[in-house]
Structure formats: structure tokens, C-alpha cells
Structure 1
Amino acid sequence: MFRINVRVRSWLGAGLLALTTLPAPLAIAQDAPASSAPQPALWKVADKDTTIWLFGTIHVLPQPVDWHTGPVAKAFDSAQELVTEIPIDTTAQAPGAILEKSKRQDGKSLRDTLAPEDRTAYEAALTSIGLPVSAFDGNKAWFAALMLTLIPLKTAGYNTETGIDAQVAVRARTRHMLNRPLETVTYQIGLFDTLPETTQRTYLGEVVKALPDVKGDVDAMVAAWKAGDAEHLAKLLNEDESDAMIAKVLITDRNVAWAKWLKARLAKPGMVFVAVGAGHLAGPGSVQDQLAAAGITVTRVQ
């Protein structure tokens, strides 16, 4: 059974932040219910002259969240350097780059590459969200899959402007913080675009099956993030075996690379606030797990 795992992680809490900037057709914002003050999780890595704070973000939210409170606010305000997935001033450039990369170059229609039963289900999914069945005929399967995840969220009022990454960026600009990105927009797009076509089609099929539950899945993930319940968040994000390749490319390999960067950063004095998708800081193979494997202690602060 396909669960909340990678299809939600790739949009909401495990980063491909660049991809959440895509405009969604027919998106109608709705009011979100009020909620109690959040207490999102926070971790610390430190040596004698360096402190690195690890803070998980949610890329899209239905309304602003006051994340800048308590230990998180203290950590952010103490840092001179903000580390993010992509540069905080390049997200506006992402949609055009994504759309260009998503175009098919083989002269085939996306629907014509699908097995008959998969095509029928895919067309029904498009119809269910008010799109013509030909909406993504000229695009690659990964793009159609991502849009099928994004559109219901946009329709429910989720957007990047109220996501935590955007809110962190606003405060960072106000403070004129140094921003060090771990990746580029081009790199993030390439993670999907270089997936084998069969993997892309499998991913699309899983998204189609999960489409009716996407908002409930995301709501559950956001609730766990607000509560700082890393254990429950990890459970929600637990991958199925069918997601192994996508999870490796989108999650695990990046966590390994980021942990290496963090280990190297400890050699330089300073206070650093790292804000990346919450899915990278939860569950097996997380950034914390990778750091621990390298002999580095990670302490939970909140």
C-alpha cells in the first residue's frame, strides 16, 4: 500500500524546495483552521568553537506559522549563517527552469507511454481535479506526478509564501545573514529528470492511486511537525519498498552529502542555522543518522 512517504516528502518536508514554486492551475485558497502555537523540533551539533542548529521546515503551508519562538528563535537569532537547500533569492527563477526541463523530447505523448490501465486511472485523476486529460501530454512523467500532488494542496490553500522556508528567508534578509545553499535549483530539478523513465511512470502511478488522500496525509505530517513529534513524523514518512530508488535519490543520498558538508563545517568557527525539509531530519537514514555514523553527536534541543 502506498503511504505518505516520498510523494509527500518530495513536496512538503524532504526538500525539492525548487519544485514547490510551480504555479498550480485552478488553485483556490481556503481558510485553514486556527491551531495552537507550534513547537517544531530542533537539534544541535557543536564542538568547542562551532554550533550548528538543525531545523526542519515545511515547504508549503495553508497559513503562516509562528515558528520563531522559544529555543528555535534563540538559535536563529544567535546564528550568523543560514544554510538552506537552495539559495533563498533564486526560487523565483525555478518555475521557468522546471517547465523547460519537463518537456518531452521524444515526440511522444505522455499518455501514449502508459499501459492501458494506468492511462485510464491517470486520465480519471486529471478529470477529478478539473484538468483536461491532455494537460501534461507534452511533459515527462515526473512532472505530471509532481503537479498531481501540488494541485490538490494549492486548492486546499497550501502555498510556498506561507511555508516555513519563505518565512525563514524573510527574517534572514532582514538580518542580512550570510546564506550558504547546499544545492542549486538546477541540481534539484535534475534529481527527478535523471530518474529512469520506468521509475518515473511507477512514481506517477503511485501518485494517482494516492491522490484522494493527499490532503489528509499532508495535514497529518504538518500536525506532527508542529508538535515537534519527530518519531511520529518519521513513521508517517516511512518509505515502502516500491519507493526504494526514489527514496535513495531524493532523500538518502542527499542526507549523506549534507552530513559530509556539516562535518566539514565544524572545522570552521561560528554559529550556523540549517533550515532544510523536515523529512531529512526524521526516520532511518536521516541527516542525524548520517552524522552519528561519522562519530558526531547530535543533541535534541526542542
Structure 2
Amino acid sequence: MRLRLLTAICLSLQLSAALAQSDTETEPAPEQVLLVGQRPGPGLWKVSKDDHVLWIFGTYSPLPKKMEWRSQQVETILGQTQEYLSPPGAQAHVGFFGGLGMLPSLIGVKKNPDGATLKDVLPADVYARWQPLKAKYLPDNDDIERERPIFVADTLYDAGLRQAGLGKGHEVEEKIFNIAKKRKIKVTRTAIQLEMDSPAKMIKEFKKSQLADTACFDKTLMRLESDLDAMRLRANAWAKGDLEAIQKLSYADQEAECGDAMRNAEFVKNTPNFQNVKQRVRDSWLAAAEQALSTNNSSFATLRLSDILGPNSYLAALKAKGYQVDSPE
């Protein structure tokens, strides 16, 4: 169980993804019913040069928990492809003995330093907004008051999604990966590895360090206070492949704030292998994409929509390198 806490920290160091935001101020009336049954999601982006093609499927979170994803187009393309690129990310590597050695230091890793509570570390107005949301989503979890805001935010967000009938949507990526594995397609993992020279020491430093995670907590509250209806709209839009509707719905990007709080923490700055993670993740995926495009007639990848849409996206970077990029029709 304690090793799962380490996983939570490591996941926070991974690239957080969010949809491209829009300046649109007017939103359509909330659609209360979540789409269920079998849904295809959006079409495929096509990156090409000469006769070599990289097909990209855009994933999104959250999605309806009762929705089953299936795309005939994706399955057909996978049947013709030679290589599948896994999503970009970063993974902290801890060896077996390193993991055993750090077990004692993991006790209390989620707690605030010096026994502080949320009331002690949060501004009064933010703490006041937290209380009704706790009563609604986490009424029986009083121990959470002693946890760091970044961990409380994650627990609260998950509880809010569950009550709204939404989930993280990881099943879509898992299903695509399983199709590739079943068809014996070459799988290239693009995530970078973050070596931890002294995991136990790093955890001890983390437990003593302060985190600038108030903004992470605040924006998580904002999403649950005002964005659940829009979450349903975006989830339905993705399920129907309506990308225009997704891009029109702006929201408070708590994932970027929470990722920055962990990446900019003092204990991370003191670890050379954890520097420039965001750029290294991007460079690793782009290098794998270019290699696949030069080697295969047809390759396939999944990216979050935030990495596909917008002027600073991964696809914009490929286009700047001379590749043709075509959006779904």
C-alpha cells in the first residue's frame, strides 16, 4: 500500500494534460444526460511525408463511466500499421532494493509538514470554499484535513467525477494498446525514465519541503464548483467526435497548476535527473514520431487533445519540421 503513495508522487511529476483553452465566454446550456453505449470518439489526425503516414488518435478526460469506446476506423488503421507509439510521459524508476529501502520514509508522505492542517496552510477564503465541497464529496474522510493540498485536490476531484458519472477515461488508451498487442504490432514506449539515485532521501526531502500548491487546490475547487456541467458537455462532444464544441468550452486548468507545484518544488530542483522534464518528454515523443515516419509506411499513436490542438502542440512542431498535418474531416 505504501508503494502506491510513491506512485502518486511520481505521477504528479508526469506531464499534466489539459484541453486547449478558448477565449469564448458564452457556453451552451448544460446537457444533463451523459452519452452511454458504444461511441467512436473523434476521427484520426494524419501526419505524412512522401508515402509514410503517422495516424494519431486524440484522447480526452474525463469521459462517461458507462460509455464503451469503439472505433472501426481505428481498428482498420491498426490492422495496417507497423508500429504503435505509446503516449508521452515520464516515469520515475525505482529498483527493487531501492523500493524496499524507502518503505520507512513513505510513512506520512501525504501529510503536511510539522503536523499542519489544511486550515493552517490555506488562505481563509479558499478553506471556506473547501468545506462545502468536502461535505458533498468526502463527508466521512476527516483524516484528509492533515494532508497536503495537492493530494487533497486529487482525492476531491476523483470523488467529484464519480458523483457526476465521469471517469478518467484511461480505458480508451488501454483498449488501443491491447488491440496493438493482440495484433503483434511493434510497441515503442516514448515515456522518459527519471532515475532516482536515492529514492529514500528524495522522499525525506519531500516530506520536509513546502509546496506552492495553493493554486492547484484553488483551481480544483473552481472546476467542481462551476465546471461539472461543462465537463459533461465536453465528454459528450468527444464521444460524438465534435471537436469544435470541445474547444469552445474553457475551464480552469488545475492539472497544469498541480503539475507545476510538484515540478517546481525544492526537492525536485535538488535532483538533477528531474530537471526540464516537460521539454524532455516532448523531445522524446517527437523523436520517436520522426523515426516511425521514416521507417514505416504506416504508424499509429495516441495523444491527448491538448498535445494535438493549438499553436504549441506536438502536431504544430511536426508541421514546422515540414510534415503535412491533416485534421479529421
The TM-score range, normalised by the shorter chain, is 0.5 to 0.7
Cα distance in 2 for partners of 1:102, 1:184 equals: 25
* Residue of structure 2 in register with 1:43 after alignment: 45
Alignment map for 1:240-251 (pairs within 5 Å): none
CA drift at 1:196:
8.0
CA distance 1:117–1:248, change in 2 (3 Å):
closer
Q: Decide whether aligned partners of structure 1 residues 131 and 259 sit closer, same or farther in structure 2, where only a CA change above 3 A counts.
A: farther
Matched, 1:183 2:191: yes
Q: What's the CA shift for 1:120? A: 2.1
Inter-CA distance 232–289: structure 2 relative to 1 (3 Å threshold): farther
In the superposition, the TM-score normalised over structure 1's length comes to 0.68
2:114 is matched with which residue?
Answer: 107
1:67 maps to which of 49, 66, 70: 70
Q: Distance in 1 between matches of 2:297 and 2:40?
A: 28
Structure 1 vs Structure 2: percent identity of aligned residues? 19
Q: Given the superposition, is the C-alpha separation of residues 40 and 263 from structure 1 closer, same or farther in structure 2, using an over 3 Å criterion?
A: same
Indicate whether 1:123 and 2:126 are aligned: no
Structure 1: 5+ residue stretches without partners = 1-8, 15-30, 88-95
Gaps of 5+ in 2: 1-14, 21-32, 90-98, 196-201, 264-276
Q: Which runs of 4+ in 1 moved over 6 A?
A: 11-14, 242-252
Letter matched to residue 83 of structure 1: L
- Return the match for 1:230 from 243, 247, 252: 243
2:54, 2:298 within 8 Å by CA — same for their partners in 1?
yes
Amino acid at match of 1:296: Y
Task: Identify the range of structure 1 (132-141 vs 149-158) with the bigger mean alpha-carbon deviation.
Answer: 132-141
Instruction: Give the 3 Å change call, closer, same or farther, for CA 143–257 of structure 1 in structure 2.
Output: farther
More strand by share: 2
Name the structure 1 match of 2:231. 218
1:41–1:228 contact (8 Å) kept in structure 2 = yes
Structure 1 residue 257: Cα displacement: 5.3
RMSD: 4.1
Alpha-carbon distance between aligned partners in 2 of 1:197 and 1:149, rounded to the nearest angstrom: 19
Are the equivalent residues in 2 in contact too, given 1:43–1:301 (CA < 8 A)? yes
Question: For this pair of structures, how many residues does the alignment match?
Answer: 260
- 1:54 deviates by 0.9
1:119-165 residue CA offsets vs partner (Å, 9 max, x unmatched): 22223321121334644344332222222222121233334577311
Look up the SS of the partner of 1:44 in the other structure: strand
* Superposed displacement of residue 232, structure 1: 3.1
| Matched-pair contact (CA < 8 Å) for 1:234–1:283 | no
Give matches, 1:131-280, under 5 Å: 131-132=139-140, 134-159=142-167, 163-183=171-191, 197-198=211-212, 200-237=213-250, 253=279, 255=282, 258-280=285-307
Q: Give, as a single letter, the amino acid of the residue that structure 1 aligns with 2:162.
A: K
Deviation of 1:177 (Å)? 2.8
Q: How far off its partner does 1:218 sit?
A: 1.9
Determine helix, strand or coil for the equivalent of 1:40.
coil
Decide whether the 8 Å contact of 1:41 with 1:225 is kept in 2.
no
Conserved 8 A contact 1:102-1:143? no
In the aligned structure 1, how far is the partner of 2:258 from the partner of 2:316?
Answer: 19
Matches for 1:17-56 after TM superposition, within 5 Å: 33-34=35-36, 37-48=39-50, 50-56=52-58
TM-score by structure 2 length?
0.63
Q: Does the C-alpha gap of structure 1 residues 211 and 292 become closer, same or farther in structure 2, counting only changes over 3 Å?
A: same
Which of 288, 296, 301 lines up with 2:315 in the alignment? 288
Per the TM alignment, residue 202 of structure 1 is displaced from its structure 2 partner at its CA by 0.7
Q: Secondary structure at the match of 1:85?
A: coil
Q: CA deviation at 1:298?
A: 0.8
Q: For residue 68 of structure 1, what is the amino acid of its counterpart?
A: S
How far residue 52 of structure 1 moved from its aligned partner, in angstroms, is 0.9
* Stretch deviating more after TM superposition (246-255 or 139-148): 246-255
Question: Counterpart amino acid of 2:318?
Answer: L
Take 2:289 and 2:244, find their aligned partners in 1: how far apart are those partners? 23
When structure 1 is superposed on structure 2, of 245-254 and 122-131 the one drifting more is 245-254
Q: Please tell me whether Structure 1 or Structure 2 has the larger radius of gyration of its CA atoms.
A: 2
Distance between the aligned counterparts of 1:224 and 1:32, measured in 2? 10
2:86 equivalent in structure 1: 84
